[in-house]
Amino acid sequence: MTDAPATPALRVTPLTVLPEIGPTLRRYLALGFEPVATDDPGCVGLRAGTTAVILASAAFMAGDFAAAHVSSLVGQTITYVHVASADEVTARLPTTTRIVQDVRTRAGTREVLVEDSGDHLIIAETTTGAG
């Protein structure tokens, strides 16, 4: 195990990738979660107190990631890790970790999809000019 990165994770949010988000979104809203405004109905953040979750449709995810990678994520909840520097964090990952895809998203973030022992996560860096 390596030392903690100099630029640690800023926060983590579970991200559920679904064929479509409607039924799951309605369930979270019925539980009292508050939607977090996004610019795309295919991706909705939900907040309850100090916790949050992101729901994303496969179609939304395929707008940034290769369809083959997205299809393996449908039905899964993966970890979305917000970081200050994707390069710094990915350089410190164990050697068993595989970078699946590194993209600049439509929203202006840099997102690195990684996999290790069947566990996927996205390391997300907000780049200059992104909201």
| Residue ranges per structural domain of the chain | 9-126
Residue 21: its pLDDT value, please?
A: 96
Residue with tokens 């970078």: 99
**Nearest one of 106, 10, 7 to 52, comparing CA atoms:** 10
Q: Is the pTM of this model over 0.85?
A: yes
33 to 19, 87, 89: CA distances (angstroms): 21, 33, 31
Q: Per-residue pLDDT tens for 67-121?
A: 999 999 999 999 999 999 999 999 999 999 999 999 999 988 999 999 999 999 9
Q: Around 101, how many Cα atoms within 13 Å sit in the side-chain half-sphere?
A: 12
Q: Per-residue pLDDT tens for 22-47?
A: 999 999 999 999 999 788 899 999 99
* DSSP 8-state secondary structure symbol assigned to residue 4: P
* DSSP 8-state secondary structure symbol assigned to residue 3: P
Q: What is the CATH number of domain 9-126?
A: 3.10.180.10
DSSP secondary structure string for all residues of 47-113: EETTEEEEEEEHHHHTTTS-HHHHHTTTT-EEEEEEES-HHHHHHTS-TT-EEEEEEE-TTSEEEEE
Contact between 35 and 46 under an 8 Å Cβ cutoff? The reply is: yes
